Structure 1
Amino acid sequence: MEIYLIRHTTPKIAKGICYGQSDLELSSDFDNEAAVVQQLIEKPLDYIFSSPLKRCAQLADSFDVPVQREPRLMELSFGDWEMKKWKDIPQAALNEWMENYVTQAPPKGESYKKLKARIVEIFKGIISQNRSSTGIITHAGPIRAILSHVLNLSLKDTFTLKIDYGSVTKISLVEGQFTVDYINKK
């Protein structure tokens, strides 16, 4: 089984804005970025699971395969911080969260540990279907959470993994054993 973890293409948003589950439009270069992503997939996909947010769903719909939108594949919820400038979030609260983001959630948001729990749950369901080639179109946080799961890597250490917009990470599952073929291919 081949699993392609695909990060959405570039969103249309100014730098320095906190967003996670906010539903953003895509940049004007979407068509070119989507074409590059499709070329990175080594063999035709049987099925795609996608975050329902526009930045993922639009990319999923650009493939000519069945797509299932799955809310558990959404990015981390930043709660009250969604769509605020990072510089406008009280520094003390931001510092406290950054020290403990694995277990502590932003106000009315979720922790990285909680995100991983929902991502691993859906990921196990996806792999149980044992399709030949599956795409998962999602966000950087969920991709890092899946890699944490398959590599037995601590959540805190996953931020050493670069996951660019429009990048593809490939995981193979053979006889119950995961291998990561590549990360962040662009």
Structure 2
Amino acid sequence: MTAHVSAVAKRIKAINWSGSFDRTPSCVALLREYLRRASWWAEAVKSSEWPFFDIAAAVNPAVRADPGQIQAIEDHLSQKLQGVLVVRTCVRALHFAALEDAGAKLPRVPASVVRPFEPLLMMFERGGGFRLGGSGLIEVDTAGVPKGTASSHHTDKTVVALEPAALDALDAGA
């Protein structure tokens, strides 16, 4: 069964990649929430790679999304002129969804970080994208988020609620 992989692929294909500077504050918060979640996962799987690493491969390298689905997403994103890091994170979200479909045993992480790629998917859905700048900043629109280290983002406190109303309030300046 590939319900999770299909759902993630459908979400990625539905994204409007034209961008929106009106949503930069929420996109920055979503990126920071991803960094927080990735720090927990890096610790759980004892990964030296961070922040944009293949969590699914670290958990169980034998469980992967179907190559045909991966190719379809890569082809779709190349038509949308997305950078390699965005493409990789989308593919890695599919591989993580494959773990869920397979019922793979996952390491213990706090409940608030169980779905590590959800903040990035939501950021993309809100018109955000990112790239890694040469200065160590992760660039989201005109904002720069310090990449830092996994430990600098390792906190129990959620950065932002993954709810449209909370994200809209950030964008409205509330």
Q: What is the TM-score of this pair, normalised by structure 2?
A: 0.26
Greater fraction of residues in helix = 2
Structure with the larger RCO, 1 or 2 (CA within 8 Å, 6+ apart): 2
Q: Which structure has the bigger radius of gyration? A: 1
Q: What is the TM-score of this pair, normalised by structure 1?
A: 0.25
